[in-house]
Chains A and B, each alone.
Chain A
Amino acid sequence: MSTTTSSQLQLVKEKGWRRGLGNLLQGEYSSWFKSSRWWKHLLMWFAIINGLMGIMVIASAKAAEEGSDGPPILFMYGWFGAMFGAIGVMIIMQRVLVREKQQGTAAWALSKPVTRTAFVVSRLVVNAIAILLTSVIVPGVILYLTLGLFSDLGWLSPFGFMAGQLMFLLHTFYWIAFVLMLGTLLESSGGIIGVSMVLFFAFWYGPSLAPPLVYISPLMLIISPAPDQINSLAGSFMTGEPVFSWLPLISTVVSCTVFITVAILRFNRQEL
């Protein structure tokens, strides 16, 4: 067998902060989508979101038969999305950087011609795509069909529903970015989960103690600040009602930007 010479191989052409990004993305992508991981997650989210929403739809139909009020289906969707979405992301994402730092695979990957920025971006992009796809997009599509076929709500406006889904995506992305940032600041999974939980419950219970919190809380994208009176942003988009405030949306986008910036800056200074 003749040996390969380096001249037969084309060198990677990425420059600047993108050095190594393509290969890192491919590697991370294969860890999700070239293994059983993605469909296991999909099944889990289907069971949680669509299973629970299926129960809500059945309960609503039964209540209608009995002439009483059923559970508020879209409100419950927001509630499940906020609770399980945030906690699910914390569990999945807490391992992303910390485990790689602890096991030495981060140091190994960074011994190759890659930038630290590319490393963080690859972990963010692929995990975000995988989590958003399995926990929001696919369950959302199934829910849309379920509501149209089996619930009193009927076929919601597809554009309104998609706009509502965007709020679910943004809410989930908020937690992805936050937990990723914590992965660069802390060295233990327990610490990451603990801090994330504190923030989550501060947003969950905080508005009853400090009402202005509703304007900066990412939860308000998908759960109502005052059930029966005000809709969440997602609920407003889905039902065509006016939104109560754009501030939660602006605040969430700004927060995500800050989290990602801090994660990149911090990881660039981190010693491995």
Chain B
Amino acid sequence: MNSNDLVINTEGLSKSFGEVHALKSLDLRVPQKSIFAFLGPNGAGKTTTIKLLLGLLKPTSGGGQILGMDIVRDSVDIRANIGYLPQDARFYEHMTARQTLEYTAGFFYSGPKSAIDKRVNEMIELVGLEGKADRPIKGFSGGERQRLGIAQAEINYPDLLILDEPAASLDPQGRRDVLEVMSRIRKYATIFYCTHILDDVQKVSDQVAIVNEGKLITQAPIEELLTGTGDAIYSVTLKGDTQSAFTRVTQQSWVSGIETSQNSGGLTWQVSVTDEAAAEDQLMSLLVSSGLKVSNFSRKEQNLEDVFFNIIERSQK
């Protein structure tokens, strides 16, 4: 990918707080007009990365560019072209939602007032805060604050939106609304967001990066991650004496492991295979020829949660 097609491009970006290495040599490539999910467990370095990108923290080593500008040297110019929603968004409590948006717009535009007012109204509409725009923020719920946060982040037509946990602390309806707004915005901007709600990632994202303990573990398009570079898993439910069958199956070169669990329908195996074609051809006949009754045979669909935990577990080994 050409570096001109990248909205965010970091090289060896690192940050330490004393002895704690919060981010270790991050090389991140975020393509234009993508919805890019930045995942990782708590304390993985996600918020530190965002703060480095925004110039709120200074890198210990390495660096990066946003929209072709240096994240340290050109920080103010970068911030003129992006929108940011902080985790647990806090605004000035004495202001109403409309005043907050007017205030935010004032960082970018000096006038004319009619055009600013119009833009503020568009943002209020975008996030569905029409009925509450003139109420003080003090009384807003978490979901309403989050919507206001998205509106203020979008007010300057940003080329890049950086959202830190945009759907955290929201009820299912609020989460759905936020995802819908993100989908609407993707036409105009690249969205880089961190979250720990993997369901949401699968719904809206097209690129995913996973960090753990300050290190980038993987970065790939979501389809690639889901179809996987890892093993396919077949789920089989069996009745009968499984001991000899277990030995026969584990001896196959294309079997990388079996996890067993007992349930009311019988014994269930999760067979991890490296060669799906071989598994399709041979696994069933191996089981039947070992005298077992097979009541269920299916390929387990990977979801992002499985992929995420597999990757995190592997990175910790």
Contact = CB atoms under 8 A, between A and B. Distances in A.
Interface stretch (B104-112, B195-203, B230-238): B104-112
Contacts of B51: 107, 271-272
A21 B80 CA distance: 14
Interface in B58-117: 58, 76-77, 79-80, 84, 86, 88-92, 94-95, 99, 103-104, 106-112, 115-116
A104 B110 contact: no
A103 interface: yes
B260 to A, nearest CB: 49
B56 interface: yes
A3 interface: yes
Contacts of B317: none
Contacts of A105: 90-92
Contacts of B220: none
The size bracket of the interface on A is 20 to 34
Contact of B79 (A1, A113, A271): A113
A111 B108 contact: no
Contacts of B88: 104
B187 to A, nearest CB: 12
B112 to A, nearest CB: 7
B112 A19 contact: no
A108 B86 contact: yes
B57 interface: yes
Nearest to A106: B56
A195 to B, nearest CB: 24
A113 B56 contact: no
A110 interface: yes
B116 A9 contact: yes
B175 interface: no
Contact of A271 (B58, B118, B121): B58
Interface in A11-68: 11-13, 19-20, 22-23, 26-27, 30-31, 35
A6 interface: yes
A78 B30 CA distance: 63
A113 B115 contact: no
A8 interface: yes
Contact of B108 (A3, A113, A115): A113
A11 B110 contact: yes
Contacts of B95: 30
A113 B80 contact: yes
Contact of A10 (B56, B109, B119): B109
Contact of B76 (A3, A19, A35, A271): A19
A229 interface: no
Contact of A113 (B76, B90, B112, B122): B76
Contact of B122 (A4, A12, A114): A4
Contact of B56 (A11, A35, A110): A110
B254 interface: no
A112 to B, nearest CB: 4
Contacts of A104: 86, 88-90
B54 to A, nearest CB: 5
A1 B121 CA distance: 10
A114 B109 contact: no
A106 to B, nearest CB: 9
B56 A23 contact: no
Contacts of B111: 9-10
A271 B115 contact: no
A114 B107 CA distance: 7
A10 to B, nearest CB: 5
A111 B115 contact: no
A107 B85 CA distance: 11
Contacts of A23: 103, 106-107
A27 B92 CA distance: 9
Nearest to A113: B80
Contacts of A107: 51, 56, 86
| Most chain B beta carbons < 10 A, residue from A8, A9, A110 | A9
A215 B250 CA distance: 90
A33 to B, nearest CB: 11
A115 B94 CA distance: 23
Contact of A272 (B56, B77, B115): B56
A107 B54 CA distance: 10
Nearest to B50: A111
A35 B157 CA distance: 31
A9 B107 contact: no
A3 B112 contact: no
Given A9-B108, A11-B108, A20-B107, 19 more contacts: A3-B122, A4-B115, A6-B156, A8-B112, A9-B115, A10-B109, A12-B107, A12-B110, A30-B99, A105-B90, A105-B91, A105-B92, A108-B84, A113-B79, A113-B80, A113-B108, A114-B79, A114-B107, A271-B56
Interface of B: 51, 54-58, 76-77, 79-80, 84, 86, 88-92, 94-95, 99, 103-104, 106-112, 115-116, 118-119, 121-122, 156-157
17 contacts: A4-B115, A4-B119, A9-B109, A9-B116, A10-B111, A10-B112, A12-B110, A22-B110, A27-B103, A30-B94, A105-B92, A108-B86, A108-B90, A112-B108, A114-B76, A114-B79, A272-B51
